[in-house]
A and B are shown apart, each in its own frame.
Chain A
């Protein structure tokens, strides 16, 4: 009964380093999403994948890339991390439009 699993839960990077945040869902959902949340703010959409094989930009895509590896997995890559990317990153999935999202527990990323 895992739902949406994100790894890692915590990460500290140095400026300029790269890393990939992993997300997997076991609910056979079609759509997957990546959000970031800065302190005291709501969530902002980075990228989404409406279905396997497709990805689209959200509100704040600059500095990120994504891969929908298969129906289960949707990864977020930071090629050259910057302090402005310090945030909590949430992955979510849904059956499709106008259905509720299930969120993961988040990855807390600090870039120093």
Chain B
């Protein structure tokens, strides 16, 4: 079973920051938090991952709480093309992704 819980859906206005929360209160110390997204019925796309520290790349930022019980994916300036299902996944040493149902983000004009 997925070790993460996410809201089923969220809306965001175009041009604003999209903040997607994820709870992972039961993950162990060596489990990374990964974020993927799936646009329509395409294959999932890797966004970002982290262990303890906050991370940033060209797509997004990942903020992980100090106790590692939750995290937030931030899309700084959401566009209509960011409308997708976003998956927060805890990955252990074996490295296999276990997907939940994710959050359906709708970016609206």
Contacts and interface: CB of A to CB of B under 8 A. Distances in A.
B99 A42 contact: yes
B97 interface: yes
Given A43-B44, A90-B44, A106-B41, A101 B99 contact: no
Which size class do A's interface residues fall under? Answer: 20 to 34
A66 B94 CA distance: 19
A75 B94 CA distance: 21
Nearest to B47: A100
B97 A31 contact: no
Which size class do B's interface residues fall under? Answer: 20 to 34
Given A40-B101, A92-B44, 6 more contacts: A31-B95, A98-B32, A100-B34, A105-B42, A106-B41, A106-B43
A58 interface: yes
A43 B34 CA distance: 15
A43 B99 contact: yes
Contacts of A43: 44, 97, 99
